[in-house]
Each structure stands twice: as structure tokens, then as C-alpha cells.
Chains A and B, each alone.
Chain A
Amino acid sequence: MGPEEFDRNVELALADAQLRRNFAFAMGSFIARRQAVFSDAAQTERLRGQGQALKRRVLSRLPELLEELEANCTRNGIQVHWAETPAVANRLVLDIIERHAATRVVKGKSMVSEEMHLNAFLEKHGVEVVETDLGEFIIQLNGETPSHIIVPAIHKNKQQIARIFHEKVPGAPYTEEVEELNAIARATLRRKFAEAGVGISGVNFAVAETGTLCLVENEGNGRMCTTLPPVHIAVMGLEKVVEKLADLPPLLRLLTGSATGQFITTYVNLISSPRRACARPCSACAAAPASTTARSTPGSAATPTASSTRGRSARSSTPRFSDWTRPAPSPRPRASAAPARRSAPSRSPSPGCCGACATRRCHRRPRAPCPATAAAAAERSGWPGQGGGISTPTRGSTAC
């Protein structure tokens, strides 16, 4: 955009009374809400000082922390890619999507991806990208770009949104009720989540110490994008790295308090590795023949091959919905592993099994966990112990 076009856009926006009313209302509300959360001035200043010191610390060790983050993510099974330019980053994302033969992508709100013009790039290469944050969804339907990093469609009022939905969402009635507009988006996007081959998200904080990606949100679309598709691609600027997990609480409080006037967002998602199909087998199970497990199926997806952050798995072979404009790719041979896995007989624990490695994909109902696992689980859950079984976190298996 040249300076002349910019000047012209400014004049147009200033002349738009509707737009000015929308913004004045929104910004006024945000300021009031932030003040309510940060009501104690001295405490707020202390918190801001702490946040500033933590960020300065990151800048003083940026290359070292990025290497530490990469090493810990890699150890956790997350693949890390580096890009010097937006063009390279876009290409890396496309390569991952193509490697998984995906044509349908769901996306959580990510400002760095906006700056990369990722959607336009992917669309140009035949990939259908659906923005799933409600505000982003609205403006994507209308072919616009976000006007605010928290509330991307803040320049639209409900009448304008009602028209966009009615015209652009197949079968959507015209309604100005906010609840009904939300319900239209919910119904439309749920299908997209279930059918997408890849989910893309941003990152709010990446913890070097643990290789953890932290994402905050209120809607749940971010959790959907990072959990439902078989592959998750997280895009981050290198300034998102933080040193320690313990740095998150003050930074989260500053972020959510300043951004939306909340003590905490509805969801704070901490992702440290791709989904694990099965805990690590204990020595007894590892030694036993695995002839009855799904893992013996050639090409089975039961063992995740960590992709960008999620295990590769078989895709659903029958698309039930037709409002994606791109056809679903035909199932590849490995997809046939899914029915085989479903019917695979349950495996009995090996004699001497610690129980910790027993998830439903290996064999059901561990009854005799090893003492270390049981103690760790009991400590963590504090459950009074109705019923049988022990809640064993996946990582707990390393205790025995």
C-alpha cells in the first residue's frame, strides 16, 4: 500500500460514522475492563516490573534460549523448523501440509500468520484454509483483514455480520441475534474441525525450559485446531520464547489483564508433545511379543510419528459434508489401518507388567500398577479411591 492509498483509506474510515461508533464503544469497554482487573496500582506496577525484567532477561539470552527451546521440543517429539523470511515460512507450512496430503486446514487466530499472508499463499496452492476464531471467521467470509488483534471484526456491527452470514454461509438465515449468529458459526465450524487434515495455530509463549507451547483463548477454537486434526503446525515469532515455566504466571496475568480485562482466559493450553498413542511399555511388556497389538498391522497409525506437534494418524475416509470447496483427498493405503486397529484384540498385560504402560491401545484396565506409579498417581489425583484402577499420567510410567 502506497502513502496515497493509506491517506485515502484514513479519510474513508474517518468519514464512516458506523465504524467510529463501533471502535469508540469497543475501546471504551476495554479500558474500563482493564482498570477493573488492575485496580491495585502498586501491585500492578510490581507485576509490570516483573514482566519487563523477564522479557529483558529473554533478550539477553535469545540465541541460547531458542536453542534450548528447540532441543527440548525435539526431545518431546515436536519438529522444529526455522525460517528467515515470510516466504520461507509459508513454504515450510505448505510442505508439511502436502507431506500429509491434506487439502483442508483449520486455523486459530495467529497474528504472525496474518503478517506472513499465509492464507493467501496456501489458497494459491490449492489448500482450503478456514479461520475458526469467530471474529476471524467473519472477516474471512467477507474477504477482509483483521482490524484489531483481539477482536478482529470489531469494525462490524451485528447488522453487517448478519448480512455476511446470510449471504456467505450456505443455508444461514438472516438474524441479528448475537446468540443465533454464534450458533451458526458453531455449527459450521464444528464440521470443519472434525474434517480438517491439519490445524494451524500461533503461540503466545514458548517455554525453553520444558519445550512447552502456551496458547490462551476464550472460544475453544484454538484447542479444537490443536487437538482434532492429525497434524498441528504452530507458527511463532522468535520473540515468543520465555526462559522458565515459572515465568508464565506473571506474564499470563499481564497478557490477559491488558488484552481483555480478564484474570485468566477461559482456556490456557500447555502443549508439550504430540499425542502419545501409548505410554512407554514397561520392561516386562517391551520384552513380551507384541503379536496381538495393533502395532503389528503394517502401516498402522497406532504409533505416532510425531509431526509438527501431533501424531500422524489415519484420516476419516468418508467426508460427510460438502461445503468445503476442495474435495477430500482419497484415502491413502495407510488409512486402512483404522478398521484393523478397531478390531485388534485386547492384549493382556505381560506377567510382571507395571501397569503404567497399559493404555487402552495396548491392553485394558491395569489392575496392579507398580508402587512408584501408584504413589505418583495418588499424589497427583488425591482421589479418595472409589472403584478400581489408578489414574496414571502418561509420563508417570517413567517412574517404574
Chain B
Amino acid sequence: MTETARDRILARLRSAPREEAPRPPEPAIGTAPELSGRIDQLTTRLEAMRAVVRRTTAALWLEALIALLRERGWSTLLYAPETPLGAAIENAWAQDGDGLPALVAYAEPIESFKERLFTVEAAITSTAGAVADTGALILRPDGREPRLMSLVPPVHVAVLQAQSIFATLEDAMRAGGWAADMPTNMVLVSGPSKTADIELTLAFGVHGPKELIVLIVE
């Protein structure tokens, strides 16, 4: 068998002098703040990064969403029909969709949906949790709720279950067993898309959503 680039690179690395270095001890796990403290911290951080946060409850979240939609008047809302969130939205629209944005289902392959995707005004997705100390949503997109939903439309509405807010990213990883079960894609999202590439002037919505709206369901 001929020697490959891989073999030569690894051989060079193996023959290079190396210093022993044990794995550093895991930092002590701090006591996580109570849920209300985590919600407050997350809210503060997200708002500092220009996200809009609305707190609601399991009984009232749909009303809160509908109020938001009426207020903002987007003409179209992209949703994922095969998620529990999507089913709840379909039910609500079936009951009374008057004055609400037209629903656009993300229910076909990206190759045929790309053009439509670039024309919707807002998208709504569920979340897999959040990190309080840095302020970030945890998205775990999959075939039913693809990652482009939280990226391409100008507005991203994210629905977050309060009890899935972790104190730190370390906590979220440990509790969720991430290392044993990484999906195709996970994304932490801490605000609307932004840039400071021109004279360090902060501007929002350069490529991704211009607005991030988070509904925290307690």
C-alpha cells in the first residue's frame, strides 16, 4: 500500500517531541440559580443582544402569540406542521385565523422550497432549551423543523419552555447527554443577526433574521 498524506502527517506528529498533559479537572459545578433567577438572567442577556422577550404561561401562550402577530401584521408565517408547536398553531388558525398571517408550511424538500423560503416574512420554531448565563437559545433542528427556518426569514419567533432553561452551557450539555447524542445540527442563538464590520457600527439583520422574538412559556 502506498503511503498517503494522512500517514505522513500522523507519522510526523507521532515522532515530534510531546509533553505529557493530563486532562484538566472539570471545574466544580456551581449551584444553579432557581428557575425564576434563570429566566431573569436569560431575559436580561437576550434583551441586551436586542432580542425581544415576552413571558407567558402554558395556558396563555397561544393568546400571547396571536396578540404579537396582530400587533406586528406580518402577512406570512412559516411553521413546521409536524411538530407539536406546528399542530397547536394549525388548530388555533383552524378555529379563528381572522386577521392572522397566512400559514406557510415547511413541508417539502429544500430544493423545491428554496424560493418560497426567501419570501416569507416571519417564521416560528420551537426550541430545545436555553442557556441563562451567556443568554442563548438552544435549537435542535431536524427534518421536521429544518435549520433554515431560524435563519432565512427576516423575523424568527422562538417558543421556549421555561423549565428547559439551564444555568450554563455545561449544565445543558450534561443534563441533555449531548456528547452521546449529537444530532446533525445544533445551534445556539443569542439574538438577531448582526455585524459591526463597517466602522464597528452595530447593525442588525445583515444575513440572518433582523428580529428575534422569544416567547418564554412558564
Q: Is A228 an interface residue (CB 8 A)?
A: yes
Q: How far is the CB of A10 from chain B (nearest CB, A)?
A: 24
Q: Is B182 an interface residue (CB 8 A)?
A: yes
In contact, B134 and A264 (Cβ under 8 angstroms): yes
Residues of A within 8 A of B131 (CB): 264
Residues of B within 8 A of A302 (CB): 109
Contacts A82-B6, A245-B182, A249-B170 known; A266 to B199 CB distance under 8 Å? Answer: no
**Residues 32-70 of A contacting B (Cβ, < 8 Å):** 46, 50, 53-54, 56-57, 59-60, 62-63, 66-67, 70
Q: Is A290 an interface residue (CB 8 A)?
A: no
A279–B184 Cα gap in the complex (Å)? 11
In contact, A218 and B142 (Cβ under 8 angstroms): no
In contact, A245 and B173 (Cβ under 8 angstroms): yes
Residues of B within 8 A of A59 (CB): 18-19, 21
Q: Is B140 an interface residue (CB 8 A)?
A: yes
Contact flags A263-289 to B (C-beta < 8 A → 1, else 0)? 111111111111111110000000000
A244–B26 Cα gap in the complex (Å)? 11
Of B14, B112, B201, B206, which contacts A219 at CB under 8 A? Answer: B206
In contact, A84 and B91 (Cβ under 8 angstroms): no
**Residues 64-115 of B contacting A (Cβ, < 8 Å):** 82-88, 90-91, 107-112, 114-115
**Residues 244-271 of A contacting B (Cβ, < 8 Å):** 244-246, 248-250, 252-253, 260, 263-271
A268–B187 Cα gap in the complex (Å)? 6
**Residues 326-352 of A contacting B (Cβ, < 8 Å):** 338-339, 341-342
In contact, A218 and B183 (Cβ under 8 angstroms): no
Q: How far is the CB of A379 from chain B (nearest CB, A)?
A: 9
Q: Is B9 an interface residue (CB 8 A)?
A: yes
Contact flags B182-218 to A (C-beta < 8 A → 1, else 0)? 1111111111111111111101011111000000010
Contacts A220-B207, A270-B187, A386-B91 known; A393 to B140 CB distance under 8 Å? Answer: yes
A134–B195 Cα gap in the complex (Å)? 8
Contacts A267-B187, A338-B111, A360-B144 known; A210 to B84 CB distance under 8 Å? Answer: no
In contact, A381 and B161 (Cβ under 8 angstroms): yes
Q: How far is the CB of A197 from chain B (nearest CB, A)?
A: 12
In contact, A158 and B199 (Cβ under 8 angstroms): yes
Q: How far is the CB of A194 from chain B (nearest CB, A)?
A: 6
In contact, B195 and A182 (Cβ under 8 angstroms): yes
In contact, B143 and A394 (Cβ under 8 angstroms): yes
Of A54, A153, A243, A270, which contacts B197 at CB under 8 A? Answer: A153
CB-defined A-B contacts under 8 Å, sample of 14: A60-B18, A189-B207, A210-B182, A227-B151, A246-B170, A266-B189, A273-B184, A316-B114, A341-B112, A364-B82, A385-B84, A390-B84, A392-B142, A392-B144
> Which 9 residue pairs of A and B lie closest in terms of their CB atoms, listed nearest first?
A220-B208, A387-B87, A53-B24, A386-B88, A135-B197, A60-B21, A268-B188, A220-B207, A264-B134
- A binding-site residues for B, Cβ under 8 Å: 22, 25-26, 29, 46, 50, 53-54, 56-57, 59-60, 62-63, 66-67, 70, 82-84, 88, 132-135, 138, 151-154, 156-158, 161, 178-179, 181-182, 185-186, 189-190, 193-194, 209-212, 218-221, 223-224, 227-228, 230, 238, 243-246, 248-250, 252-253, 260, 263-279, 301-302, 313-316, 320, 338-339, 341-342, 359-361, 364-366, 380-395
